[in-house]
Chains A and B, each alone.
Chain A
Amino acid sequence: MPQPEYIQERLQQLESIDLTLCKMLQEASQVVFTFSELKRGNYQLKPQFQAHIQTFYSDLDSVNENLRNEIKHLDENIGTRLLPINNVNKKAIGLDDDKLLEQIELLKNVLNVDENIDIDVDMDASKE
């Protein structure tokens, strides 16, 4: 039984934030690389250098915004929605009934199986 859609969505969002943050690292490495190329005298890379810096900052910006949004969502939902992990001490109730039902099912099986055996035995007996 999966979690409700809303929570799935939040997880998805957090995941994308994670990925963007990670991408920023790659972007930073690209920036350093193009910078070193520029220093080497490879001036054709200048537009690329600028582009990398731009994406780095735009990523930072979007991460900032998204993260803020998520925190807002979390804030809004604390106390209003049942969250999977919360501070309320949730009790594992109803397990006793589950177990009981499970055992009753088992009991049914045992009885049925044995009835079958009994029938078989009877049939055997009748054959004889």
Chain B
Amino acid sequence: MDDQQNADQKMGINLALDPNLINLTLYNHPTATPLSGSNTSTTEPTTAPATTTTVTDANALASSTIVNNGQSMVKNPYEVYGQMPLSQLIPLILQERGQGFKFVDLSEELLAQEIANDKQRTQLSNTNPQDEHTNDNVNNTEVQPQEQQQEEESNNPDLMDIDMENEPEQQSQLPLNDTSLNTISKENQNENSATEAVGATQNPTLTIPETSLTQEQFIKIRKEMVDNINIAMNETSLSLDFVSLLLSSVRENNANSSMSTFLKKNVPTGTLNSDKVPHVPKQKDELTQLEISNRGWKLKSLNDSRLILKENYNKLNNSLTIEHSFWKKLSNHINSNDIIFKLRDKSTGQRSLGIKYGYEDSGSTYKMDRGVAILRTNPTTGKLELKPFSTSKNTKMSSSSSSSNDTIKGLEKFIRIRIFTKIESEDDYILSGESFSDIESRSGNKNANDYSNNDDSISDEDEDIRAQIENLKKFIIEKELMYQLKKECSHLLSYGVTVENENRIVIELPNEKFEIELLSFDDNSLTNHDRDAPKINDKRANLILITLRMLLVVMFKKNLRNKLLSSKVNKSLNIEKEILLIRPILGSIRHSNYKMLLKKIMKSYVLDIVPESTLEESTLPSSTEHIQDHGNTHQMDRHIVKLTKDITAFDHILNIAKTLFQISLPNKGRITIILESTNYCNAVVNIKYVSQDNTTTFDSNFAEFKEVEEFLHFIISEYVKERN
């Protein structure tokens, strides 16, 4: 080997071949073609002789080792033990030597003797490998005395196995060894490739030893190694770039030479600069100043946070007292009969409680106002109040534009009925009766209270919310009543009922006029003649108003019964059949008028003419649906029974009036006249003449009183008078 190296140096090429590398490449590139080896040798003529010599040498060496122990091409004990610290190595030696051996006893002579013994032994088996070994040994011993010991150990076949197993750890260090061994690091790769190629040439003839490092392990390790190198190279080139860029502002040419092309392309030179910032240590008084201001800021922020907390506490406390009084009032004044539910206040967007005061669940079909109010605390007075809640756009607009009082006022309307009597001589009407309102305008009174005595009103508050609910209930009934009245009126035009404007209905009778008005409390007509002297028709007006309200309730009851009886929900009412408000009243008034007229006719045409004739008058029950219902009440639900009972209580006014007149004519039979208003307002007169022998001679209907007159005259003159 020495000769070889000398030769290499003469050739100007420094090639250091680690025998282990040859071994490694063998495993790494088992499929490499022998051609590649020859190629590298031929392309570089100057290195060729040297390479070839090493190749041949390595060949011989490798083959010999394989023949020798059949395990490894070569074993370089220095690779295994050279890197090992003494503290590890010595115990190993001691272990190998066996028990009772002291390291002190180990001397050069002893080792030399052992080597000699070994030589003799190996010469017996093979002479060639021994030469190689001795060569190696000579080299190693020259480097370090310890290597001799290692070398002996390597000769021990058993130990070799262990070494091979240890090798993976050592392999990763191999490249470093290579570079340290080789003086020219750049040639390392070339050399590697060369050796790889060389190794590959031997591959076909080789059988890979089973005990050595597996291929996968090796590949893995190699990959790791290459990665590490790459990382290191990357790092260095990056830092080189950084330094170059930093330098470029000062010495551009120098920097350009070392800068990477990528950096040159992307970053203008001289853009990075650095300055030395002198670190001036703070003075002691400066430090204390800082400390003080730090402390001051901290204390200030602590104080501020305390204030914020306190402020919020006060705010919360205030709102809590409001909340608590709200709930207290609620719990005191709202009972389980009230319908309370959660809803969102549209004007404020807050969650709140709504109360339902409308009659929707009690049979009302009024959809213009659902009768829902929001329970809330008045922000100015702190009192619980109800704000009617409406989904319709009109009220929403008004509520947003004006204060809540205005909207309440808009809703606070009541119905007034006025009766005007016709003065015959002047062809004019005078007010003869006016209904009074049982509803007190709460909003007006309340405002007066608020301004005059705020303290006293608090005690009234207990009753206040209930009164508000009651009032709202009344107002909604009035509104619905008006709505239904107007609907009914559209069918009654021919009977003198007209809708004068949105809030007024006028019913004209021969000598009277009824006005039904929906008024708000601040109406002019109210303030003008406030509580005049009672008039004659006040009672009638009140009775009509009360009857109208009762009839509305009866309508509700009918709706309820219909709902219970049929699953189909009828949304809109049939005006002809179901809205019976004006018609029963108007009908009975008209009926009595008809009766008077009929009586007059009978008097002048029958009673006055036929002596001793008598008139009997009786009301007949008209056949309506209720009578049919009576038959099977016992099978029905008790609610329906109750409803039916309630409704039949009003039969007298609801049913179509029917009056029977019987005029008995002495010895001449009798005349039966039935006056009936089939649709409440008209009059149909049925005249029957039954003669003495109980044979009905005439039975005919008349719709006009003129005809009745004529017919009666005819009967009397033809049948009664003639026999007389």
* A residues apposed to B, CB below 8 Å: 1-4, 7-8, 11, 14-15, 18-19, 22, 25-26, 28-29, 32-33, 35-36, 39-40, 82, 84-85, 90-97, 99-100, 103-104, 106-107, 110, 114, 117
Contacts and interface: CB of A to CB of B under 8 A. Distances in A.
Query: How many of chain B's residues touch chain A, expressed as a range?
Result: 35 or more
Contact of B362 (A19, A32, A93, A104): A93
B335 interface: yes
Q: Most chain-B CB neighbours within 10 Å: which of A18, A28, A106, A110? A: A110
A69 to B, nearest CB: 18
B361 A85 contact: no
Contacts of B546: 103, 106-107, 110
Contact of A35 (B302, B341, B356): B302
A81 to B, nearest CB: 11
Contacts of A90: 339, 341
Nearest to B559: A96
Contacts of B500: none
A41 to B, nearest CB: 10
16 contacts: A3-B332, A7-B331, A14-B327, A22-B320, A25-B316, A36-B299, A36-B306, A84-B334, A85-B353, A92-B362, A94-B362, A95-B359, A99-B359, A99-B549, A107-B543, A117-B534
B366 interface: no
Given A26-B313, A110-B542, A96 B362 contact: yes
B323 interface: yes
Contacts of B332: 2-3
B603 interface: no
Given A15-B327, A39-B302, A29 B359 contact: no
B76 to A, nearest CB: 72
Given A36-B303, A117-B534, A15 B324 contact: yes
B220 interface: no
Contact of A25 (B313, B324, B337, B477): B313
Contacts of B556: 96
B324 A39 contact: no
Contact of A29 (B310, B330, B336): B310
Contact of B335 (A3, A14, A15, A93): A3
B333 interface: yes
A108 B543 CA distance: 10
Interface string B337-367: 1011110000000000100111111110000
A110 B423 CA distance: 27
Nearest to B650: A100
Contacts of A97: 646
Interface in B415-439: 438
B358 A92 contact: yes
Interface string B293-323: 0010011001101110110110011001001
A80 to B, nearest CB: 15
B675 interface: no
A24 to B, nearest CB: 9
A1 B362 contact: no
B312 A25 contact: yes
B473 interface: yes
B327 A11 contact: yes
A59 B55 CA distance: 90
Given A1-B335, A29-B309, A85-B341, A92 B361 contact: yes
A92 B339 contact: yes
A34 to B, nearest CB: 9
Contacts of B303: 33, 36
Contact of B331 (A3, A19, A33, A110): A3
B539 interface: yes
A11 B316 contact: no
The 8 closest A-B pairs by CB, nearest first: A29-B309, A1-B335, A36-B302, A91-B361, A95-B362, A25-B313, A96-B362, A32-B306
